[in-house]
């Protein structure tokens, strides 16, 4: 949806309206948000700052990268999530997890070895944007696990979306970029993205609230979406090398599964 939205609007417009609609959607369920302790409101701001930066990097990558390759590169967050789970949350680094990280890295390198573009592989700058996006997303996912021990999903989602909206609004002001409500009429992908964000985040926060959930397990479940990304890249964007990319995705998911099942 992000890739499709970029064809009609600028990334700043998309991110602002994306956050605005998302915030409006969660307002009816945010009655207890103002009872949140001040320190957790601050942590919610930090999470919003991290995610806002992550999404901006994601759009930089999506402008130059096919959606199927982006989906595969996005799976690298498993590597960073595993390391954060070990060093921040105290989860054990086992041989299986280490092997899983190696297999995932191998699959990622394979995915970038074959390009859809006659100009060759994507640039280092674009790859770095994609990887930094994954690192920041991993940090955000780790924060979810920690914050959900002391906040409700209503509280976290309210403050997170509010701060996202403020941050993107400030970016528009600093860059002096004009936006129009007509953008929503001409780009229906933006409201669809907002619905996806709000509904998906709510389910994710509920899952993270479970004391039995681990960062690595949550990563496996989220990253299985790569097959949807690869498939839509083929069906809607006519991207090439789909079978090869599917194989790379299977290799990466295998590494993630080894890390989770035997880790």
Token pair belonging to 67: 């959606």
Task: Note the pLDDT of residue 91.
Answer: 76
CA angle 174, 46, 147 (to 5 degrees): 155
119 pLDDT more than 60: no
Of all residues in the chain, the percent with pLDDT exceeding 70 is 92
Angle subtended at Cα 119 by Cα 245 and Cα 130, rounded to the nearest 5 degrees? 55
pLDDT at 120 over 60: no
Kindly state the tokens that stand for 58.
Answer: 């994601």
- The CB density around residue 241, as the number of other CB atoms within 10 Å, is 19
DSSP letter at 150 equals T
> Within a 10 A sphere around the Cβ of 245, how many other Cβ atoms?
25
| Average pLDDT for 209-222 | 69
Banded pLDDT at 216 (limits 50, 70, 90): low
Q: pLDDT per residue over 95-114, tens digit each? A: 888 888 888 888 887 877 76
- CB within 8 Å of 186: residues ≥ 6 apart: 8, 9
Q: From 258, 241, 256, 253, select the one nearest 111 (Cα to Cα).
A: 241
Q: Which of 60, 76, 70 is nearest to 116 (CA)?
A: 70
Exposure string over 196-217, b if 16+ CB within 10 A, otherwise e = ebbeebbebbebbbeeebbbbb
**Residue 82 tokens, joined:** 């595993």
Confidence check: pLDDT of 211 > 80: no
Instruction: Give the model's pLDDT for residue 118.
Output: 44
Mean pLDDT of 217-230: 75
- With beta carbons less than 8 A apart as the criterion, state whether 18 and 193 touch: yes
- The band of 262, judged by pLDDT with boundaries at 50, 70 and 90, is confident
DSSP 92-122: ---HHHHHHHHHHHHHHHHHTTS-SSTT-SP
Query: Distances from the Cα of 85 to the Cαs of 88, 130, 137, 210, 253, in angstroms?
Result: 6, 21, 13, 16, 18
pLDDT at 215: 61
With 90 as the cut, is the pLDDT of residue 208 above it?
Answer: no
Q: Which has more confidence, 119 or 160?
A: 160
Question: What is the tens place of the pLDDT at every residue in 139-180?
Answer: 888 888 789 889 988 899 899 999 999 999 999 999 888 877
- Over residues 243-256, the mean pLDDT reads 86
CA–CA distance from 188 to each of 5, 9, 184 (Å)?
Answer: 8, 11, 6
Q: Which residues of 1-33 are buried (b: 16+ CB within 10 A; e: fewer)?
A: bbbbbbeebbbbbbbbbbbbbbbebbeeebeeb
């Amino acid at each position: 949806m992000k890739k499709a939205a970029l064809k009609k609007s600028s990334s700043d417009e998309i991110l602002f309206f994306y956050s605005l609609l998302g915030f409006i959607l969660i307002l009816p369920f945010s009655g207890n948000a103002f009872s949140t302790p001040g320190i957790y409101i601050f942590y919610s701001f930090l999470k919003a700052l991290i995610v806002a930066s992550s999404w901006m990097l994601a759009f930089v990558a999506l402008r130059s990268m096919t959606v199927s390759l982006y989906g595969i590169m996005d799976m690298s967050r498993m590597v960073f999530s595993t390391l954060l789970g070990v060093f921040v949350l105290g989860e054990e680094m086992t041989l299986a997890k280490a092997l899983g990280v190696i297999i995932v890295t191998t699959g990622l390198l394979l995915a970038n070895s074959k390009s859809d573009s006659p100009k060759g592989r994507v640039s280092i700058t674009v790859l770095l944007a994609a990887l930094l996006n994954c690192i920041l997303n991993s940090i955000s996912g780790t924060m979810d696990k920690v914050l959900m021990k002391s906040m409700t999903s209503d509280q976290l989602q309210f403050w997170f979306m509010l701060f996202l909206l403020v941050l993107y609004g400030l970016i528009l002001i600093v860059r002096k970029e004009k936006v129009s409500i007509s953008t929503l009429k001409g780009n229906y992908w933006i409201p669809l993205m907002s619905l996806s964000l709000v509904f998906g985040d709510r389910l994710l926060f509920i899952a993270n609230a479970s004391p039995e959930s681990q960062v690595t397990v949550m990563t496996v479940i989220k990253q299985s979406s790569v097959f949807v990304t690869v498939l839509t890249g083929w069906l809607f964007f006519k991207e090439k090398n789909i079978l090869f990319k599917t194989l790379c995705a299977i290799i990466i998911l295998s590494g993630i599964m080894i890390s989770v099942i035997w880790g």
